[in-house]
Structure 1
């Protein structure tokens, strides 16, 4: 500002008034200062200004993968709700790695974010003490409960129970489940598997362990391979509960490859309600965990912490609502 003031022949205070767009600056003076700024290549240091003010109007969002439909749609929703509140969002990819999730917290605390929304899949209950209590963080996920930060979870068990009950109501009696690799610890796969089992027990149907396919990765390709395995088993499965919509779409592709018609021979239901599921053939029935509610609530909880809006000091645990969306993949 001193350089600009000397070049324009005005005081540094006048330069400050122009930079901050304050009134009571003559237009001729404003034009002279702007011309000097342009000639000298002067740019306002937003980072320094924000540090002085103690706010950046920027929040971080850390997700496992940015190229999966669910997380891409989550990011878009968070950006939209944050923008409406006057905040920008920086998106980071953690690769579903514990070290990267911890790095996201560390970098957020020490960089130019006012707070962080972290979708965690790798951090375990034993890591809860590593979560900050002096920096605004909201975690999304199913592995850490009773953490010292605000937390939003999905209705995993309830939703999977409803999905399985839906197949039973559609006449399915040999229902397989395509899920993740780890069913022993608390995570999305184990919680949704628990809901599947509860629905079978409530209907008096046996669980066929051969029909529980564990996938190393929850991808389209692995879902298709799971369908090939189920078709080769020749066990007469007439329904499939998939742990995610991405897996469900892979299952439908794999069944088509094996010459198995959906929904004529096998009915398929997913979980997440990603946008593409409504446009496939057949369109995918799914559990909708109200993804827009999750994004809006995450932003709301985080901004309340950032602003200090009289929120309780204790962490808040909330669970999203859900609905079952019936489409072609489970029609009679």
Structure 2
């Protein structure tokens, strides 16, 4: 089949090769559902044979959709959010959407402005993972386009939410080391963020696990970290070691903190897990390759991404977007590796009282 004189295939060329009208080609490329499967196959076959480049912008103007989703995350330099972004992009791609990413660097004003900024890019909907905004900012999420919020920072808005039980997941991590006979369990990552947010939820899970074993919480074993980065994990562990407070395990609020803590423990000659069991949270790729490999909690990023994408696209493509907001809780999994390794301590031999 000859192409038009201009060289590049045109819609008329596609129509001629497929043996259909230009209008039918337009309907197929615009995604109209009334076109039969057989007709769609003929048109798309001609598109492929001619290497016809679909004018996506023009199509979007016709159908009122860009097929672009927004994703606003705090820090792409942090492995968890980079891996989450990858999962979101893959899930969106499987449904024919692309993803535009905005970084908010854990700044409240940027988190608030990101919602409006993304809308100016003509996205169809937004997946939003805030860390700095709080309950007082709930009205910022009452927007006129589909929005899915990840995490626990803001409840009560009209947005859909996808989260996991940070309380139960951190409780499981703490119960793991307690089941190995550890009784002086430190925690790294506490933050003064009030009764909401990831840090507060994970601290609650830690506290509940101690209570299950009849252990009173020791404030000296609760170590703060302003940011959940590796350098802050090193610094937090240095503070704990310098305090002289005895401990035989540490649970960290993310893997970056745990990897930093491992570094400091190695520096000071502490054996892992014989002297100190270490548990992280997030199951980032690096956690499987540290020395020793890191026991951690997997929040099942792929599941979070898939749920968020499915909800968002269902809102975009669904007939009625006025339905009540959804709240979906995904699962988690404790991944046991070498940093705890099932090494049980004997209380008398270790000389550590409960």
With the shorter chain as reference, the TM-score category is 0.7 to 0.9
Say whether residues 1:175 and 2:185 are aligned partners.
yes
Match of 1:108 in 2: 118
Provide the secondary structure at the position in 1 that maps to 2:323: coil
Q: Give the deviation of 1:309 after TM superposition.
A: 5.2
Change (3 A) 1:264 1:90: same
User: What corresponds to 1:268 in structure 2?
Assistant: 278
Give the whole-Å Cα distance in 1 for the aligned partners of 2:274 and 2:222. 21
- Of residues 208, 212, 227, the one that matches 1:202 is 212
1:78 to 70, 82, 88: 88
2:301 matched residue in structure 1: 291
1:168 and 1:258 map into 2 onto residues whose CA distance is 24
2:229 is aligned, of 219, 225, 230, to: 219
For residue 34 of structure 2, what is the aligned residue in structure 1? Answer: none
Residues 146-186 of structure 1, C-alpha deviations (whole Å, 9 max, x = no match) = 22010111210001111111110011110111013225231
Secondary structure, aligned partner of 1:192: helix
Tell me: CA distance 1:183–1:97, structure 2 relative to 1, closer, same or farther (3 Å): closer
Tell me the equivalent position of 2:246.
Answer: 236
2:190 and 2:203 in contact (8 A); partners too: no
Q: Secondary structure at the match of 1:271?
A: coil
CA apart distance, 1:322: 1.1
Match in the other structure for 1:18:
10
Residue 22 of structure 1 aligns to a residue whose secondary structure is helix
Q: Following superposition of structure 1 onto structure 2, how do residues 25-36 of structure 1 map, counting pairs within 5 Å? A: none
- 3-state SS in 1 of match to 2:280: strand
Superposed, 1:154-173 pairs within 5 Å as 154-173=164-183
Q: Distance in 1 between matches of 2:110 and 2:185?
A: 37
**1:125 aligned to 2:135?**
yes
Determine helix, strand or coil for the equivalent of 1:272: coil
Cα displacement (A) at 1:19:
4.3
Give 1:147's aligned residue. 157
Q: Note closer, same or farther for the CA distance 1:183–1:105 as it changes in structure 2 (3 Å cut).
A: closer
Structure 1 CA distance, aligned partners of 2:210 and 2:322?
Answer: 41
How far apart are the structure 1 equivalents of 2:54 and 2:216? Answer: 68
TM-aligned CA deviation for residue 94 of structure 1: 0.8
Give yes or no for contact 1:189–1:243 (8 Å, CA) kept in 2: yes
Aligned to 2:22: none
**CA distance in structure 1 between the partners assigned to 2:128 and 2:58 by the alignment:** 26
Distance in 1 separating the partners of 2:82 and 2:212: 36
Map 1:245-264 → 2, pairs under 5 A? 245-264=255-274
The CA RMSD measured in Å over matched residues stands at 2.2
1:222-265 per-residue CA deviation (whole Å, 9 max, x = no partner) reads: 10111111112222200101011111111111111111111110
Q: What is the CA–CA distance in structure 2 between the aligned matches of 1:225 and 1:101, rounded to whole Å?
A: 28
Conserved 8 A contact 1:180-1:217: no
Per-residue deviation, residues 9-64 of structure 1 (Å, max 9, x unmatched): xxxxxx9x9147631169xxxxxxxxxxxxxxxx9864354133201111011100
CA distance in structure 2 between the aligned counterparts of 1:180 and 1:295, rounded to whole angstroms: 26
Between the aligned partners of 1:236 and 1:48, the Cα distance in structure 2 is 67
Provide the C-alpha distance between the structure 2 equivalents of 1:99 and 1:226, rounded to a whole number of angstroms.
28
Give the TM-score taking structure 2 as reference length: 0.81
Distance 1:152 1:231, change over 3 A: same
What's the CA shift for 1:289? 1.4
Tell me what 2:97 maps to: 87
Structure 1 stretch 302-311 or stretch 225-234: which is displaced more? Answer: 302-311
> Unaligned 5+ residue runs, structure 1?
9-14, 27-42
